[in-house]
Amino acid sequence: MNILFYVASAVAIIATFLMLTRMNAVHALLYLIVSLLAVALVFYTLGAPFVAALEIIIYAGAIMVLFVFVVMMLNLGRAAEAQEREWQRPSLWVGPSVLAVVLIAEVIYVLTHADTRMFGAEVVGPHQVAQSLFGPYLIGVELASMLLLGGLVGAFHLGRRLEEKR
Amino acid sequence: MNLLWLIPAFPIAGFLFLALAGTRLSRRAVSIVGAGSVGLSALVSLWIAGQFFVSPPAGYAYTQTIWNWLDVGSLHLPIAFYLDPLSLIMTLVVTCVGFLIHVYSAGYMSEDEDISRFFAYMNLFVASMVTLLLASNLVLLLLGWEGVGLCSYLLIGFWYRDPANGYAGRKAFIVTRVGDTSMLIGLFLLYRHLGTLDIQTLMARAAHQWPVGSPLAVAAGLLLLGGAVGKSAQLPLQTWLPDAMAGPTPTSALIHAATMVTAGVYLIARMHVIYQLAPSAQFTVGVVGAATLTLAGFSALTQPDIKRALAYSTVSQIGYMFLALGVGAWSAAIFHFMTHAFFKALLFLGAGMIIESLHHEQNMFKMGGLRKELPVVFWTFLIAGCALAGVPLVTAGFYSKGLIVWQAEASSAGRWGFWLVAVFGVFLTSAYTFRIIFLTFFGEAKSHVHKRPGLAMTVPCIVLAVLSLVGGFVKTPEFLGNIHLFTDFLHHALPPVAVAHARAMSELASEGWVTLALIVGFAVAYFCYIERPEFTASLTRSALGNALHRFWKSDWGMDWLYDRLLVWPVMWFARVDAGDAVDSIYTGIARLCEWFYQGVRRTETGQIRWYAAAIAFGTLIFVAVVLFL
Amino acid sequence: MATVPMMHALLLAGILFALGLVGLLTRRNILFILMSLEVMLNAAGLAFVAAGARWGQADGQVVFIFILTMAAAEVAVGLALVLRMYHRTKTLDADRASEMKG
């Protein structure tokens, strides 16, 4: 099982890196989906099967489909790819990469000075998650529902104005 | 009696209402609210006065505490109103005369576009004035004191589109500020040495702690006198009052004749214990009064502008009140305040009607012959003028002024010189009063009357005229019925005058001299302006006459002197010192802010990735600080 | 189930987060910025799940569900904004949307 975790991790990192360096939006999206699936596998190995399922259904499913739809509506062609290439000059990568490396260094520093114990091999299933969600976190669920409602209204509003303008 | 707080509350409410909603109301509604609030306040004060007479409170004093204002350490300042005969009479006069003038204003200002602003200021003024009078401690008194000063400033500059009016307002504000500073130092001194600012406690402690003639009492008395001199336009701070006539005429009547300018008299009467402990300070009060009443009398004689002439007359009459205070004739001063409020307000209201009916003409030499054109104005003005001059037996001014003149000598603190000056003042008063009347109402008409005052303006004048006639019958001399209702009532709050019977001249003799001086003054005015106007004209053309005329007309050159002595050096220094070190600190701060702003503005690129990078960088630093420190 | 040190799972979360950050800062295309944002959110969720697994508690997964909700709402509004922006400026360049600069 351990080997599964490391392989999935490697896939996630590589897929994310490839996503970042693509010039074509659809290619990048595909790599992003691969990365998300790999993270879902990581969740599974960590003993969180419910969240792993959610990762696939909602992230890799719903959200990414939304992205694909938008890319389709924008109807980006080869010109966009050329434009993208022009924007991404190599020198641009230096600053952010330095920031990221420093960040990783800090994370590693923290992790090496912290708890190094192994995970317990127990599974926390949907039952426990649901009891926690609708028990102590009930208010959070209500707030999340309001957030979703807000997102719904916002997206609807923005989209409708677009229709009218046409 | 417990309705006392309503007296200032009504005008305050009127002010707030007019200030917030005044522009949305019709002119009629504004007048009703403005005059109505003061009218209600006058009704309440009449009711309270009635109660006070019928069943006086214990010790003839009633205190009502509204609210705890300041409570710091040993300083305890409530917002409390103190009612005794002195403050009762002053409040009664202020609210009743104030109400009449408000009614008059409703007619006078009915055409003005800013009528709501006018009534808002007037209501605020009445509220501040009543607060000043009823205050139980000196800080609340100072609040009212500064409040009336503010309203005076606002109303002098009411027609602000003319820069000259704004200038006059600033002059009034700054000159009175000189006196106010002195008064404030006086308050510090009193608090420092007596440990309280409550007036009654203060009086008791002063009488207990300070011996007669103590230098502290003298200093306190002189410092408070400074404040009174500034507010009441006495020498040497009288220069602002004639210029204050730039305001609307009802303002001149209410603030600069009847009420506010007598605040100084009230202050000294209120603090009379201090002056009893400091005979030299009290003598100074008398000297200031005597000097002012003659100098202002001469100035009044030479003014061509009817309002300025009346303004100098006000200064002169307040000089009489100061003279009375200076000889310890406290109740005589308050008596003169009351009658003066009646007839001087009436004179200003009459002058306002004349000016308005003559297309805003204020020069008396361009008036004349108005007796037939404006009969109501003529008769009321004549009555007020007679009261001002002190025509014997029938007018209120005779009784109040006669009392002061007699006591200037007869009081134990009185002096021959004071009496002489006071009698000479009667002559001057009579001369300039009849000069105004002759120039305005007699002779041939020089201007056309284009409109006649309405009922709203004439009725208050008639009421005031009646008061100017009968207002004096509350205190008459011994040989004329010997009524002393007014003084008896006041003696519950102010000590009676100590008459030095051994050397004093009789009251009858004094009144005789006053009458003689009055007749001489009348004769001089008649001779100069009715019988032989050409003689007067040639007199003012001769070299000496012209010089004297100009000198008196310019208020004895006071403005010129202050310009050279104070204004010019300050202006010069300000010009020379425009860019000194202190200044560069402030410009430096401004520069620094601007420089910093330019720097910060650069970071506001509008590019979202910069913001994200900034957040990431900040997070890194933050995490690093948490980790490594 | 796997018995890896918690450190490794958190390290994975850190690396994914850093990669997302690099993408966020380097890409000018607003679509890519949104995708990078998704990566970062996902990484944060991973850290929570790992911590929850370390203690054998459900709380980490609950928080992940909240993050998921938030991400869904964010993407819905964000993509609507992208469409409007494209409609207005005919470009996906985030730097062009800089009218608020000081």
Tell me, what's the ipTM?
0.89
To probe the interface with B, which of C17, C19, C25 has the most B CB atoms within 10 Å? C25
Distance to chain A for B198, nearest Cα, Å: 60
What's the CA gap between A43 and A28, in Å, rounded?
A: 23
Chain B interface includes C33 (CB < 8 A): yes
Q: Which of B613, B617, B627 sits opposite A106 (nearest CB)?
A: B627
Note down the domain range covering A71: 2-125
Which chains would you list as touching B if contact means 3+ CB atom pairs under 8 Å? A, C
A-C C-beta contacts closer than 8 Å: 250
- The per-residue pLDDT for A121 is 58
Closest in B613, B617, B623 to A106, CB measured: B623
* pLDDT of amino acid B16: 93
Q: pLDDT (tens digit, 9 = 90+) per residue, C46-65?
A: 999 988 888 888 888 999 99
Which amino acid appears at position C54 of this protein? R
Q: Å from A127 to nearest chain B CA? A: 36
Average pLDDT over residues A13-33: 90
Contacting residues for A77 by C-beta, under 8 A, at least 6 apart: none
Best mutation target among B605, B620, B627 (most C Cβ atoms within 10 Å) is B605
Interface touch A99/B623, C-beta < 8 Å:
no
Q: Provide the β-strand partners of residue B82.
A: B63
Cα distance from B623 to chain C (closest Cα, Å)? Answer: 14
Has residue A161 been placed in a domain? no
Whether residue A88 is contained in a domain is answered as yes
Instruction: Calculate how close chain A gets to C101, using CA atoms only, in Å.
Output: 21
pLDDT of residue A1: 67
Q: Which residues of B are less than 8 Å from C97 in CB distance? A: 606, 608
The reported pLDDT for the residue numbered A115 is 60
One-character DSSP codes across B133-152: HHBSBHHHHHHHHHHHHHHH
Chain-wide mean pLDDT for chain A? 84
What pLDDT is stored for residue A16 in this prediction? 93
Residues 23-62 of C with CB under 8 A from A: 23-29, 31-32, 34-36, 38-39, 42, 46, 49-50, 52-54, 56-62
- Compare CB distances from A46 to C9, C32, C34 and report the shortest one's residue: C9
Cβ contact (<8 Å) for B620 and A106?
yes
Task: Name the DSSP class of B82.
Answer: E
Shortest CA distance from A113: residue in chain B: B627
What pLDDT sits at residue C87?
Answer: 82
State the smallest CA–CA distance between residue B613 and chain C in angstroms.
6
Q: Distance, in angstroms, between C1 CA and closest chain B CA?
A: 33
Task: Identify all chain B residues contacting A88, using CB atoms and an 8 Å cutoff.
Answer: none
Tens of pLDDT along B372-396?
888 888 899 999 999 988 888 888 8
What pLDDT does residue C102 have? 65
Interval C29-50 mean pLDDT: 91
C-alpha distances (whole Å) from B349 to each of B100, B341, B436 are: 10, 12, 14
Distance CA C1, CA C32 (A): 35
A89, pLDDT greater than 90: no
Grade residue C43 by pLDDT with cuts at 50, 70 and 90.
very high
With contacts defined as CB-CB under 8 Å, which chain A residues touch B616? 99, 103
Cα separation, B101 vs B99, in Å, equals 5
Q: Is B536 helix (H, G, I), strand (E, B) or coil?
A: helix
Do C34 and A67 lie within an 8 Å CB cutoff? Answer: yes
The verdict on a CB contact (< 8 Å) between A129 and C62 is: yes
Give the model's confidence band at A116: pLDDT under 50 very low, under 70 low, under 90 confident, else very high: low
- Domain residue ranges of chain B, discontinuous segments joined by +: 6-553, 557-602
Contact, B77 vs B140, CB < 8 A?
yes
Asked if the structure places residue A30 within a domain, the reply is: yes
CATH number at residue A17: 1.20.120.1200
Positions in chain B short of pLDDT 70: 502
Tell me which chains share at least 3 CB pairs under 8 Å with chain A. B, C
Q: What 3-state DSSP class applies to C5?
A: strand
Q: Where are the alpha helices (DSSP H) in B70-114?
A: 85-108
Confidence class for position A162, pLDDT limits 50, 70, 90:
low
**pTM (two decimals):** 0.69
| Mean pLDDT value across chain B | 87
User: CA-to-CA distance for A70 and A75, rounded, in angstroms?
Assistant: 9
Rounded percentage of chain C residues whose pLDDT exceeds 90 = 43
Q: Do C25 and B609 touch (CB under 8 A)?
A: yes
Indicate the pLDDT class of residue A120, thresholds 50, 70 and 90.
low
Which chain B residue is nearest to residue A108, measuring alpha carbons?
B627
Q: A119 falls in which pLDDT band (50, 70, 90)?
A: low
Contact criterion met (CB < 8 Å) for B616 and C97: no
Residue carrying the six token digits 């990735």? B609
